[in-house]
Amino acid sequence: MNRAQAQTARGFRLSLVALESRIKVTKGGLLRAATFLISIVFCLVPVAGIVWIFTAGSITTVDGLFMSLILLSLSGVFFLNAVWELQDRGLLSFLHKEKKASGKEVSAPKAS
């Protein structure tokens, strides 16, 4: 290996290290992001199937009703997985509002 190839290989390794440090910002790295995106896609595809069932006019058949129920349950499962991924990353912290205790204690009014 000549000197130019060695410098290119070293530069490639350094860029991989820099890329890994950017990816591992959150625990799980790229795998968790891919899981989240797959969950979103698998959540939206069944909804598109339900829209197709409505536009084809087969919602009034037994097959159409059961297929729409199955697609809704699949969509719900993947949506729940996406919500849990967001919650694990702390992006849904605004939903968990906690009352901050102040230093002053407020006593209940006395009944007379």
Q: Running DSSP on this structure, what letter comes out for residue 100?
A: P
Cα radius of gyration (the chain): 26
Check residue 101 and give its pLDDT.
58
Sign for the CA dihedral angle at 86, 91, 97, 99 comes to positive
Model pTM above 0.75: no
Give the residue with greater pLDDT, 88 vs 17: 88
Q: How far is CA 33 from CA 63, 76, 89, in A?
A: 36, 19, 10
Which residues of 1-112 form beta strands (DSSP E)?
none
Average pLDDT over residues 75-96: 86
Dist. CA 8–CA 66, nearest whole Å:
59
